[in-house]
Amino acid sequence: MKRLLIIGCGGVASVAIHKCCQNSNVFEEICIASRTRSKCDALRDRLKGTTKTRITTAQVDANDTRALIALIEHEQPQVVLNLALPYQDLTIMDACLACRVHYIDTANYEPENTAKFEYRWQWAYRERFEAAGITALLGSGFDPGVTSVFSAYALKHHFDEINTIDILDCNAGDHGYPFATNFNPEINIREVSAKGSYWQDGHWVETEPMEIKRVYDFPEIGPRNMYLLHHEEIESLALNIPGIQRIRFFMTFGQSYLTHLKCLENVGMTSIKPVMYEGRPIVPLQFLKAVLPDPSSLGPRTKGKTNIGCIFQGKKNGKSKSYYLYNVCDHEACYREVGSQAVAYTTGVPAMIGATMVMTGKWLKPGVHNIEEFDPDPFMDALNQFGLPWQESFTPVLVE
């Protein structure tokens, strides 16, 4: 029996699980295990009668490696798909190593008390995964994930050498709230309030948060303001795309979001340093998360589209060339299909596809690997098949 263990049952996991259930030939059995078991049970009950995939559920604290090992030994999966939070990446990798089971995630490790994400903690597992004969596939969401596969595809089919990559992430969805985040608010706010950075000629260039702004006219959406952020796929693409000179990541934000974020920062609500409140320590950002709308409640209210993709510049047969690969996703269509908005959809679908690649043996390579290190072709085909069709342009407008 082919069996997948999914850790976490939030917005992204809900989409990935719906999609596994549409692909029952690969996912004959799945176990959903998370901190709050009732959420896993509710999702299993919603899917009952709609799929051939057999679903079981379990409770687990993914910060506890021993509990994870006991769960894996009981469930006997071929692959563990980590859709909990970046804080749990290492404990889950430890448990996979102990049980010799393949590992997949969508976000790189970040210590809970330092808002700094980077790959070095997970790359330190390379030799141990290799010796155990198991594969760790890192970053199988949209960005990182699809943007990294787009880069591997562009290099394989369209360039002899890629010199620059601009990753553009536009969410033009409107949920009607003055301020809400489209995925876990704590992780989202840590990411966007950090300093920006980009890769240039072999080193990082750091910027102040939101210091670099551009306007881009996105296909099927129109002109939007976008801001340069640090983003994790830059770190691995800088190593894995030979000849690369510059990689930048831009994300769009509306004025209401930015004004609220600035105000929350100014009053200390985005801080991750504990403060004493009524005799006990609380983390302001965690308190803020508790009062903000739950991202999984945004689905029925969000209208509009996302457009996420990469613009490449480089050389083919000695000639300069530019190429734009992107996906447009409609929030309301996602909600109709799986009951979630497009930000969860665009992450959950590639998580399921990454799990398919490993489960079916198409992408097995002992060690710890970023997603662009594998053959992009079967993943690109699966994007078209499972709801994230991609489009291309050979004459894109470039970002200045």
Ligand X SMILES: NC(=O)c1ccc[n+]([C@@H]2O[C@H](COP(=O)([O-])OP(=O)(O)OC[C@H]3O[C@@H](n4cnc5c(N)ncnc54)[C@H](OP(=O)(O)O)[C@@H]3O)[C@@H](O)[C@H]2O)c1
Strands of 155-301, DSSP E: 161-171, 196-200, 203-207, 213-218, 222-228, 246-252, 275-277, 280-282
Contacts of ligand X in 88-107 (CB under 6 A): 88, 106-107
Contacting residue, 18, 39, 230, 331, with ligand X by CB under 6 A: 39
Q: Between 154 and 343, whose beta carbon lies closer to ligand X?
A: 343
Q: Which residues are bridge partners to 312 per DSSP?
A: 165, 323
Q: Is the dihedral of CA 64, 15, 222, 165 positive or negative?
A: positive
Residue 11 touching ligand X (CB under 6 A): yes
Contacting residue, 5, 17, 55, 60, with ligand X by CB under 6 A: 60
Contacting residue, 4, 5, 6, 12, with ligand X by CB under 6 A: 12
Residue with tokens 């078209």: 384
Distances (CA, A) of 357 to 88, 241, 288, 375, 379: 23, 21, 38, 10, 7
Which window, 31-39, 160-168, 315-323, 362-370, contacts ligand X (CB under 6 A)? 31-39
Which window, 5-13, 20-28, 73-81, 334-342, contacts ligand X (CB under 6 A)? 5-13
Residue 143 touching ligand X (CB under 6 A): yes
Q: Which residues are bridge partners to 280 per DSSP?
A: 277
CB-based contact 139:233 (threshold 8 Å): yes
Contacts of ligand X in 327-356 (CB under 6 A): 347
Q: Least Å distance between CB 26 and ligand X?
A: 21
Residue 63 touching ligand X (CB under 6 A): yes
Residue 8 touching ligand X (CB under 6 A): yes
Contacting residue, 24, 26, 58, 61, with ligand X by CB under 6 A: 61
CA angle centred on 299, ends 294 and 301, rounded to 5° = 100
CB-based contact 53:29 (threshold 8 Å): yes
- One-letter identity of residue 296: S
Q: Binding residues for ligand X, per CB under 6 A?
A: 8-13, 34-36, 39, 60-63, 83-86, 88, 106-107, 141-145, 183-184, 187, 295, 347
